[in-house]
Amino acid sequence: MFGGGRNMPLFKVAGIQVSVDWSWLLALGYVMFVMVDDYQQLLGPDQQNLAFAYGVGVAFAFFASIVLHEFGHAIVARRNKIGILGIDLWLLGGLARMDREPESPGVEFRVSAAGPLVTLILAVGLLGAAFGLNTGPNSNLEPLQITAGVEPWLVALTTLGWINVFLLFFNLIPAYPLDGGRIARSIIWKVTGDEHKATLISATIGRFFGYALMGLGVVMLPWSLLSGALFIFMGWTLSQSARGATIQDSIFNEARELRVADVMDRQPVVMPADASVQRALDEFFWRYRWPWFPVVDQDNHFIGLIEQNSVDRIEEHDRASTLAGELIAPHSSKNRSVPDDTPLTALLANEQIRDFGSLMAIDDRGQLSGVVTIEQVQRALRDAIARATRTEEPDFPRAP
């Protein structure tokens, strides 16, 4: 689904950080209140503690199903070589944050469909278990019904099952940026061959669906202030997210042709691998006062970075005999480099360039061709944003 904000980390699974926005606490509190109230009515005044325990348990299980939904997206994204920056929970659901957008309609479809598939499995499993384990006279499959004489754990299974059915159908509405909208976008992209057009069409549907939710919320206000306000908020959020997607796509459309080679510094200061530590200090670290330098072999192949703290550890009497190539920082040849034909937009979520401020640009022969800094990336993308926003927001395509 969609979301955002400043987040508080909760836990990490398989290297994926799960965090929550402050608004998630409101949602958790509301669901707990509703569930506890329902179980108090079911179990009666003599079992209030048990009712509270069931209500809280069902509320957390509900959000656990959302986390599993997002892990579905994350796992398939990873299998398609897309990095996952984390999973965020907020007022209206969850968001698996990817380090880049899918590069083909097939990948977009697989990643987008993975979450609803997990939700479908949960819904079928929970309702199937509720039906199969029920030994009473009733089927216990009535949606969200709390009835006397029914085992409270069966009520929990049924409630969670129907909640996942609702989440499944809501997510499959073909309105961007819902999963259904992303699936529709992938299909339109495949048919037309135009990613930009596919985004505009699916985002248009998303905006109008958001307006429809807002209208429904207004109609509901006289009967239920809370439900009406919730639908208005959901509709507003969806329409704004869809609008933001069209603006972002216009910016990306302007910037996606830019490559690292277009903005990088083509004459970086490099250190030869056969330079002694004493030379490294005299001609590089003490002269430029930088904390690290790229190291290249005699054919200008990038072999990694040398950092000042590793140089400083060498005893003075060994500095003339110890070579820079022997002090390469572990994994720096891979972690601190990027192909020079990499799209500039792919660096937006690159953790290495955010942490260190720059990356080494490598050509197809493995030679160091330049250095790209985060300032260069930001400046180029600011220029792209300026070009994209000088014009009016693009017209949305009309249905034939």
List, as one string, the DSSP characters of 347-397: GTT-HHHHHHSEEEEE-TTSBEEEEEEHHHHHHHHHHHHHHHHHSPPPPPP
Average pLDDT score, the chain:
82
Per-residue pLDDT tens over the stretch 289-321: 899 999 999 999 999 999 999 999 999 899 999
How much is the pTM?
0.64
Q: Within a 10 A sphere around the Cβ of 313, how many other Cβ atoms?
A: 9
Sign of the dihedral defined by the CA atoms of residues 198, 201, 207, 212, in that order: negative
Question: Looking at residue 326, what DSSP letter applies?
Answer: G
Per-residue pLDDT tens over the stretch 192-248: 888 778 888 888 888 888 888 889 889 888 887 877 887 888 888 778 777 777 766
Separation CA 138–CA 387 (nearest Å): 64
| Phi/psi-derived region of residue 140, left when phi > 0, alpha when psi is between -120 and 50, beta in every other case | left
pLDDT value for 112: 92
Question: Which residue has tokens 């083509």?
Answer: 266
Helix or strand run (H / E) with residue 243: helix 225-255
CB-neighbour burial class of residue 94 (10 A; exposed 0-12, middle 13-18, buried 19+): buried
Contacts of 362 (CB under 8 A, 6+ apart): 302, 337, 338, 339, 340, 368, 369
| 218 bridge partner residues | none
CB-neighbour burial class of residue 385 (10 A; exposed 0-12, middle 13-18, buried 19+): middle
Per-residue pLDDT tens over the stretch 329-377: 888 888 888 898 888 777 776 778 878 888 999 998 889 999 998 888 8
Nearest to 215 by CA among 246, 238, 184, 245: 238
Per-residue pLDDT tens over the stretch 144-181: 455 555 677 888 888 888 889 988 998 888 888 788 88
> Taking the chain, what is the end-to-end CA distance rounded to the nearest angstrom?
29
Residue 109 has pLDDT above 90, yes or no: yes
Nearest to 394 by CA among 260, 169, 129, 194: 194
